[in-house]
């Protein structure tokens, strides 16, 4: 844990670096389902709100490159409903950063 410059709050820099690397992978690489499973499993294991946003970005990419049924299968297989409250049929169409 590292403290920010003004010491009023602190950030887990390692987590931010990890999320940044995940975003780079998602943006620059065609998502295979194997890579997707690995990324989502790590995000689900951590389970924070930062990870929820990471999962949204990953599932948006999957939705574009594959189809909604693939997203639904991933949500069910990784039990994302219980962790992030994502349900089958959820659409991620407003995320334009990918």
Question: What confidence tens digit (pLDDT) does each residue in 72-85 have?
Answer: 999 999 999 999 99
| pLDDT for the residue 18 | 57
Question: What confidence tens digit (pLDDT) does each residue in 26-80 have?
Answer: 555 566 888 889 999 999 999 988 899 999 999 998 998 888 999 999 999 999 9
In a domain, 69, yes or no: yes
pTM score, two decimals?
A: 0.66
The runs of H, that is alpha helices, within 3-67 are: 13-28, 33-46, 49-65
In a domain, 23, yes or no: no
In a domain, 66, yes or no: yes
Q: Residue 63 belongs to what domain range?
A: 31-90
**Count of domains observed in the chain:** 1
Q: How confident is the prediction for the chain on average, in pLDDT?
A: 76
Tokens of 48: 């924070």
In a domain, 61, yes or no: yes
In a domain, 1, yes or no: no
In a domain, 36, yes or no: yes
In a domain, 97, yes or no: no
Cα of first residue to Cα of last residue in the chain, in angstroms, is 29
The C-alpha angle 64, 91, 93, rounded to 5 degrees, equals 60
């Amino acid at each position: 844990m590292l403290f920010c410059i003004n010491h009023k709050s602190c950030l887990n820099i390692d987590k931010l670096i990890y999320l940044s690397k995940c975003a780079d992978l998602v943006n620059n690489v065609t998502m295979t389902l194997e890579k997707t499973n690995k990324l989502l499993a790590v995000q689900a294991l951590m389970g924070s709100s930062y990870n929820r946003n990471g999962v949204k970005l990953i599932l948006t990419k999957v939705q574009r490159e594959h189809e909604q049924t693939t997203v639904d299968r991933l949500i069910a297989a990784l039990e994302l409903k219980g962790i992030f409250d994502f349900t089958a049929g959820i659409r991620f169409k407003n995320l334009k950063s990918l």
